[in-house]
Chain A
Amino acid sequence: MTTSTAPSGQRRRIASPGSRPSPLLLALVCVIVVALLIPVGFVVSVVAQVGWPTLAPLIFRPKVGELLVNSVLLVAIGVPLCVSIGVGGAWLVERTRLPARRLWAVLLAAPLAVPAFVSSYGWVSAVPSIGGLGGGLLVATLAYFPLVYLPAAATIRRLDPALEETARSLGHGTWKVFFTVVLPQLKLAIWGGGLVVALHLLSEYGAFALIRFDTFTTAIVVQYQSTFAGPAASALGVVLAMICLVLLVLEASTRGHARYAKVGSGSGRPGVRLPLGAFAPLAVAALGVVVALSLGVPLASLTRWLVAGGAASWAQPELGTAVLQTMFLAGGGAAAAIAVALPVAWLAVRHPGRMARVLEGATYVSSSLPAIIVALALVTVTLRTVPALYQTTWTVMFAYVVIFMPRALVSLRSGIAQAPVALEEAARALGRSPLAARIHVTLPLILPSIGAGAALVGLGAANELTATLLLAPNGTRTLATQFWSASSSVAYANAAPYAVLLILLAAPAVAILFTQSRKRERG
């Protein structure tokens, strides 16, 4: 007799074995991928068409050197700062007897709900002299460290506590255990989170423009406003795109393939929490400072301007149209992103293989390009090929799809993975046709992830500034663009109501991300 340890066949089959994807699905995904690669094609064609002789003098000039130094320093210092705060915070919340740790768990994720440009507005109106690299680092680190905190906390929660206990039994102290056992297991979370932070730093416009800190993205917008999509803007765009692609390759080649977190039935028991003892006040103080700077300062400034502006700032006639237009554009973008992501996610989960990996990977490459490049590409391509589409809502929504596709894809992927093929087979054995089986069994199961993915895309689109500024039809007023025009002309009180609405809009997305990172059992 065999014993009852899990036999090899017990895993839940989510892919269809041996069955090939239908040609229709494959063709659809190929069309989607080609469309999404337009911005990448734009970068390549700029180099090819404008030509090196024209580009070289535009690239090798002191201004670009200065931007390069700024951007590289921003990433080189900003990413480690975000990783330190994110991982340190996650460890304190998940592995120590920190007082009120549930509250801290929420407070450390909450800065994501404050758009970086709103946080920057809070800082610049509180400390008008803020600026330069220091100011940029301060604002960006405080806005983006939760992007590392969330995956790090999720990974730490899944770690097998037996590893830490074993290390301790072998005579290692708390610090040694953290650095030799916990930290190496967080590598994937740190690398992934770090890449996301780096790409955000490179594509951020509003936050840096408000404090007059120059990066490639801000310089491209300035250049665009004076010379439109000329070779100067394109040259800067090419350099920025190259930096992003280099980061992408760097991350992929150093990440490694090892999965450290215990997988399968999930780690059975939660880890043992360390008593902080005399360090408790120190830990609370450190987290307190982080939360005060990342949430406290922006919210305090916002409150000040709300009070100063009084009822008059809420009486702005544009407020209502901005809410409606934001909902329209963001809703359309969300629906489009789901429609586009669904076939890609379906192919990736149900028919895994080299083909699916390449196609799925291609969509991530495009999405890693900063919004400003996507916008430049769409301006150029629409004007050259289909001028009727230039500055239409269609183009804006397409830009949202390109920029926020990963949010939809990640949600749908995990949703489809939770609807195993075996369930569809069971339905077919009970007399339902393949289509009916999908409608009655698979669709209800993936609806929550469709909802979550749509919410994440929609709320990202509502906060989007750069592509919206460049692509939206004349007269478009979204919350983000209205906030931007008020705050960049130092009408801080008028900007405040838009900021409040933006934060309220972002809150549900952050809540979804927060619960997703707590629920997900498989990495």
Chain B
Amino acid sequence: MTSLTISGISKDLGGVPVLRDVSLSLEAGSRLAVVGASGSGKSTLLRLIAGFDRPDAGSVRIDNSLVSDDSVFVPAHRRGIGYVAQDGALFPHLTVAQNIHFGLRGTQRRRHEAEVAAEFVGLDKQLLQRYPHELSGGQQQRVALARALAPEPRILLLDEPFSALDAGLRSQTRHAVVEALEHTGTTTVLVTHDRAEALSFGQQIAVISGGRIDQAGSPIHVFQNPSTSETAVFLGDAIFVPCHVQGTVADSALGRLTVAHDHRGGGTGARALLRPTQLSLDLNPVRTNAVIVRSSFSGSTVRLDLRLTDLGVAADSVLTFDLMTAQPDEYTVGTAVALTATGAVGVYSTAG
């Protein structure tokens, strides 16, 4: 079990700052998902941890031993890391078994270890003598994972390893990988642009944008308490309702909401963040506060545009959210409804 500490890392590529003062730490045996849009610097961060590139400033420690700073630089092959690239990067001239052997020293136990590693990631033994081009995309990624895990790396680095797979295969492969990592207890860093993948991957999540870590913490905490509205939108469907904040409560068209976190900073105005799961719709209420202006059916959910009619707070504001319902045909345009919210909210400024 190995811990990882990154402090104050910066990196320019071709004169463009890609990472700015990035710090993260990861407990031994835990899994971290770094999530960000493309170009946010997440892959560069992984390459610096791996030792493929050298940071311009800052340090990287693996288990308290310094592997990279201004004066020290341990190259990739001496760091004891495992690395899985986006397309697997399997050696095309070697069989699956030879690929898995590649990082192992000594020949006696190789055969046995290849089989163990293959079994570990749920790979059929019969595939061991095939060549990479004879495998499907999902099988290739499993081989890449088995190859990276076979030498028992101190830290495993995954660079969007599932993004080249199609949707069904992606979640299946991801579950297999998480299960294998549970077993080995390998300290792991995953970078991805897929929020669902990031939220479900491990004990920690870090949101990166513009080369900076916006927020890091447990997935539940970061999802429920995003520090900026951008992070809120990035991590999941978000509905913002204009409101007036007074101490620990906020008054809005949906009534009085409890404020759990106030992230307005110095900004002007106020809006409360609600997730679709916090909202409920009453079709036959005593008192209505919204009217359906648009309704589109999409299977198990109905996407509704609602205009809030309680003019006390915000005239003309339209909310859009997906409602899970068994009676989609009851939600017709023009129906007056009551929209209520449960649970506490975070509030953000309206400007920016």
Contacts and interface: CB of A to CB of B under 8 A. Distances in A.
A9 B160 contact: yes
Contact of A3 (B85, B93, B167): B167
Contacts of B196: 1
A7 B37 CA distance: 11
A97 B93 CA distance: 37
Given A2-B193, A429-B76, A430-B151, A422 B167 contact: no
Nearest to B156: A429
B50 A4 contact: no
A434 B75 contact: yes
A262 interface: no
From A8, A10, A422, residue with most partner B Cβ within 10 Å: A422
A8 B40 CA distance: 13
A320 to B, nearest CB: 39
A427 B82 CA distance: 10
Interface in B266-282: none
Interface string B61-89: 00000000000000111101111011101
Interface in B130-178: 144, 147-148, 151, 153, 157, 160, 163-167, 170
A17 interface: yes
From B14, B80, B91, residue with most partner A Cβ within 10 Å: B91
Interface residues of B, number: 43
Contacts of A304: none
Given A9-B160, A10-B164, A1 B194 contact: yes
A2 to B, nearest CB: 6
B186 interface: no
B83 A10 contact: no
A425 B163 contact: no
Given A18-B14, A425-B85, A426-B83, A9 B163 contact: yes
A433 interface: yes
Contacts of B148: 429-430
Contacts of A12: 87
Interface string B82-121: 1101110111110000000011010000000000000000
Contact of A4 (B76, B92, B160, B167): B167
A278 B90 CA distance: 52
Contacts of A423: 89, 91
A441 B76 contact: no
Contacts of A422: 85, 87, 89
A23 interface: no
Contacts of B81: 429
B316 to A, nearest CB: 31
A7 B193 contact: yes
A10 B151 CA distance: 27
Given A420-B89, A444-B93, A445-B92, A7 B38 contact: yes
B77 A428 contact: yes
Given A4-B166, A429-B76, A18 B13 contact: yes
A270 to B, nearest CB: 20
B89 A10 contact: no
A19 interface: yes
From B38, B82, B85, residue with most partner A Cβ within 10 Å: B85
A18 B53 contact: yes
Contacts of B157: 429
Contacts of A436: 77
A245 to B, nearest CB: 34
A15 B92 CA distance: 18
B194 A430 contact: no
B52 A428 contact: yes
From B76, B78, B164, residue with most partner A Cβ within 10 Å: B76
B52 A425 contact: yes
B227 interface: no
A423 B121 CA distance: 21
A447 to B, nearest CB: 9
B3 interface: no
Contacts of A425: 50, 52, 76, 83, 85, 89
B10 interface: no
Nearest to A420: B89
Contacts of B93: 444-445
Interface residues of A, number: 32
B43 interface: yes
B266 to A, nearest CB: 34
A432 interface: yes
Nearest to B16: A18
A1 B75 CA distance: 36
Contacts of B164: 6, 10
A426 B91 contact: yes
A431 interface: yes
Contacts of B105: 431
Nearest to B196: A1
Nearest to A10: B164
Contacts of A3: 167
Nearest to B150: A430
Nearest to A5: B166
Nearest to A445: B93
B151 A431 contact: yes
Contacts of B51: 428
Contact of A10 (B50, B86, B102, B166): B86
B86 A429 contact: no
B77 A433 contact: yes
Contacts of A420: 89
Given A4-B167, A10-B164, A445-B93, A428 B87 contact: no
Contact of B38 (A4, A9, A427, A430): A9
B259 to A, nearest CB: 30
Nearest to B165: A4
B175 to A, nearest CB: 16
A431 B91 contact: no
Contacts of A440: 102
A430 B75 CA distance: 12
A432 B77 contact: yes
A12 B167 CA distance: 21
A444 B91 CA distance: 10
Interface of A: 1-4, 6-10, 12, 17-19, 420, 422-423, 425-434, 436-437, 440-441, 444-445
5 contacts: A10-B86, A10-B87, A431-B105, A434-B77, A437-B77
**Nearest 6 interchain pairs by C-beta:** A430-B103, A429-B83, A428-B76, A426-B89, A422-B89, A18-B13
Interface of B: 13-14, 38, 43, 50-53, 75-78, 80-83, 85-87, 89-93, 102-103, 105, 144, 147-148, 151, 153, 157, 160, 163-167, 170, 193-194, 196
Given A7-B38, A17-B13, 13 more contacts: A9-B38, A9-B86, A422-B87, A425-B52, A425-B85, A426-B144, A428-B76, A429-B103, A429-B148, A431-B80, A431-B105, A434-B77, A436-B77
